[in-house]
Structure formats: C-alpha cells, structure tokens
C-alpha cells in the first residue's frame, strides 16, 4: 500500500486517501500493480458488475511514464473485464490530463458525456469527460 500511496500522492494535487484504496480492496474491486525490477511503478483499479466495467484509477509513477506501462495496465484491465463478461467499459478523465486523454483515444475509448464539476481542482471544480469502450468481440489475452 505504501508504494501505491507514494505514486498517488506524487501524481495528483488531490490524491485518493489510503481509506479509499482500502475500501476498493475490501469490496473486491479488481486491482493490479505494475512492477519493474520488483518495484511498484503503477497501478490500476476497476469495478465490474451488471455487464459493465468502470475503470476507477490508472496511474504510473512520473519517472516511468511514456514507456507503455499505463497502456499495458489499461489493456490488462480491459482484457479482465471482457473475460468476466463485461460488454462495456467506462471511465472519467480530466480534460486537462492530455496524456491520459490521448492514451484513452488511442485505445479506442469514445466520449459520451460530461460530468460537471466532478473533480476537485485548485480554485474550484473541474469537469470530467466520460468515456466508453466497447468490449464486444474483444479477445482477452493472458496477462
């Protein structure tokens, strides 16, 4: 948990609390850590139910970004969702997080809406773009 919290706190102005991570684990959300050389460098958390997956958090340590780790984590989550019967995957992203937006678009996520004032931001709130990915026909890979 310490490594995940360190990555989270270094990556976001308004990070998730340790309690939020513990709650995600307690209720059984699908969670994975990416490691290089035995060291945690990223993580992903996803809830699944009623034929849908909701990607709640994907984050990679800043010094390890632009190496395909985030993409690999995201692809793994999508494969897992497809393997367990989900037909759609959803996530929210800050429009200001252009690297994440580009990644999600490159994988095939499509915008379907906006959640007004969804994220805490300096000086107020920031909207979230809601993205959808169809898992129909996705062949899950062993990961």
30 is catalytic: no
Active-site residue (options: 18, 52, 75, 92) = 92
Could you give the 3-state DSSP secondary structure of residue 85?
Answer: coil
Active-site residue (options: 30, 104, 119, 126) = 104
Distance (Å, rounded) from C-alpha 36 to C-alpha 52?
A: 30
DSSP state letter for 67: S
- State the angle between helix axes of 2-11 and 18-26 in degrees (0 to 180), rounded to the nearest 10: 130
Region at 59 (left for phi over 0; alpha for psi -120 to 50; beta for the rest): beta
92 is catalytic: yes
* Catalytic positions: 92, 104
């Amino acid at each position: 948990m310490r490594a995940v919290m360190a990555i989270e706190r270094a990556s976001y102005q308004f990070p998730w609390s340790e309690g939020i991570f513990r709650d995600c684990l307690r209720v059984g959300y699908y969670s994975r850590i990416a490691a290089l050389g035995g060291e945690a460098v990223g993580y992903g958390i996803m809830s699944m139910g009623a034929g849908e997956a909701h990607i709640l958090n994907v984050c990679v340590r800043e010094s390890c970004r632009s190496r395909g780790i985030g993409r690999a984590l995201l692809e793994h989550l999508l494969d897992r969702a497809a393997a367990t019967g989900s037909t759609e995957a959803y996530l929210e992203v800050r429009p200001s997080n252009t690297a994440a937006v580009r990644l999600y678009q490159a994988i095939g996520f499509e915008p379907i809406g906006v959640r007004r004032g969804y994220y805490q931001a300096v000086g107020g709130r920031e909207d979230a773009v809601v993205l959808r990915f169809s898992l129909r026909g996705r062949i899950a890979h062993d990961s």
